[in-house]
Amino acid sequence: MKLAVVGATGLVGSEILEVLDEHNFPYDELLLVASERSVGKQIEYKGKKHTVIGLADAVAAKPEIAIFSAGGSTSLEWAPKFAEVGTFVIDNSSAWRMDPTKKLVVPEINAKEITASDKIIANPNCSTIQMVLALEPLRQRYGIKRIVVSTYQSVTGTGKAAVDQMMAERAGEVPQMVYPHKIDMNVLPHIDVFQPNGYTKEEMKMINETKKIFGDNSIQVTSTTVRIPTMGGHSEAVNVEFKQDFDLAEVRSLLESAPGVIVQDDPTNFIYPMPITAHKKDEVFVGRLRRDESQPNTLNMWIVADNLRKGAATNAVQIAEYLLEKGLV
């Protein structure tokens, strides 16, 4: 089986290669694919040197699976070309997420919806993935009426250039600016571009993708997404109103038994999820579980995950694993 990683030289591409290795993902031939400026570069992976190839050569090779992390414009242009030759494309960009003909997949929630005809499969936004994974067992038990989420997102979500800006600022150097303001020792209530309604594109992604993944447009969602000067993962304060009342002990039990979720909720011993401890982990971490005392049937929770892992690379690799497990490849 041929496996292509498109965008192999980027932050998420590098993380995909790490996850493939850790998961012992089976393939016979690995194609590392990038833009023309990276073609011919050598990448050492698992003790072997691989030469980066271009997109046209990758399509001609007809891989069974291609994991894309190369930006929306690349995905819009090239994903259909891969699909035409029979490749399953798992796309990390926002290009296909809200296309009604494409599945938006978090494997633990809705992988069963994938069919042999779904040649382009969308990976949700990183901040959406970790939230819906933690909420899914609670949604199944209590039903969800409304979600209010505020995010605290790592600079790694923007990419290597943003990390370089922050580290240059921290070192007292003059950085190449990626953000409109300094990020080190600062907080930017601004992720992606502002929309006519005053929300950012990132905020609207969380709103719309949550409804699509859950298959329920009746759920009310509002979001404020914030960039903070951290590495390692995204954090979220989530206030969720259920359709019926809940028992906190049962909530904890449901989360503890949920696949891909780890509960860290012992405030007396200062145990709660943090990006620094979620870094390089595949799981979603949940803590600060407490009843909202201002209104009925409402829970407050704190959710953290490595945005390059479950928020991108790990989720994509898990989709590829599902394709193999179900014999679709």
38 among the known binding-site residues? yes
Rounded Cα gap, residues 105 and 209, in angstroms = 10
Per-residue pLDDT of 166-182, as tens digits, reads: 999 999 999 999 999 99
Please answer whether residues 3 and 65 qualify as being in contact, where contact means their C-beta atoms are separated by less than 8 angstroms: yes
Per-residue pLDDT of 75-115, as tens digits, reads: 999 999 999 999 999 999 999 999 999 999 999 999 999 99
Is the pLDDT assigned to residue 284 strictly greater than 90?
Answer: yes
> pLDDT-based confidence at 21, cuts 50/70/90?
very high
309 among the known binding-site residues? no
AA identity, residue 257: S
Q: Please enumerate in sequence order all residues whose Cβ is within 8 A of that of 117, keeping only pairs 6 or more positions apart, or say none.
A: none
37 among the known binding-site residues? yes
> pLDDT-based confidence at 264, cuts 50/70/90?
very high
Question: 236 forms bridges with which residues in the sheet?
Answer: 151, 303
Q: Please enumerate in sequence order all residues whose Cβ is within 8 A of that of 276, keeping only pairs 6 or more positions apart, or say none.
A: 230, 232
Task: Give the ranges where the chain is alpha helix by DSSP (H).
Answer: 11-22, 55-61, 72-84, 107-110, 126-142, 160-170, 201-214, 248-256, 275-278, 314-325
pLDDT at 42: 93
Query: How distant is the alpha carbon of residue 28 from its chain centre?
Result: 27
307 among the known binding-site residues? yes
pLDDT at 35: 87
9 among the known binding-site residues? yes
Is the pLDDT assigned to residue 36 strictly greater than 90?
Answer: no
β-strand pairing of 88-91 with 284-291: unpaired
12 among the known binding-site residues? yes
Question: 266 forms bridges with which residues in the sheet?
Answer: 271
pLDDT at 171: 97
Enter the tokens of residue 288.
């600060």
pLDDT at 140: 98
Is the pLDDT assigned to residue 325 strictly greater than 90?
Answer: yes
94 among the known binding-site residues? no
**Which residue reads 């001609």 in tokens?**
60
Sign for the CA dihedral angle at 320, 322, 323, 325 comes to positive
pLDDT at 148: 98
| pLDDT, mean of residues 246-265 | 98
23 an active-site residue?
no
For 246, counting Cβ atoms within 10 Å of its Cβ (0-12 exposed, 13-18 middle, 19+ buried), the class is: middle
Q: Please enumerate in sequence order all residues whose Cβ is within 8 A of that of 213, keeping only pairs 6 or more positions apart, or say none.
A: 104, 105, 106, 109, 110, 124, 128, 132
pLDDT at 145: 98
314 among the known binding-site residues? no
Is the pLDDT assigned to residue 214 strictly greater than 90?
Answer: yes
Catalytic, out of 23, 126, 190, 279: 126
| pLDDT, mean of residues 145-166 | 96
Q: Greater confidence, 182 or 36?
A: 182
- Mean residue pLDDT of the chain comes to 97
> pLDDT-based confidence at 135, cuts 50/70/90?
very high
227 among the known binding-site residues? yes
Domains, the chain, in order of start with CATH, read 2-123+312-325 (3.40.50.720), 127-307 (3.30.360.10)
H or E element, residue 33: strand 29-33
Catalytic, out of 50, 181, 190, 234: 234
Please answer whether residues 158 and 227 qualify as being in contact, where contact means their C-beta atoms are separated by less than 8 angstroms: yes
pLDDT at 260: 97
Query: CA 284 → CA 48, 199, 262, distances in Å?
Result: 32, 26, 6
| pLDDT, mean of residues 242-256 | 98
Q: What percent of the chain has pLDDT over 70?
A: 100
Please answer whether residues 238 and 301 qualify as being in contact, where contact means their C-beta atoms are separated by less than 8 angstroms: yes
181 an active-site residue?
no
Please answer whether residues 277 and 284 qualify as being in contact, where contact means their C-beta atoms are separated by less than 8 angstroms: no
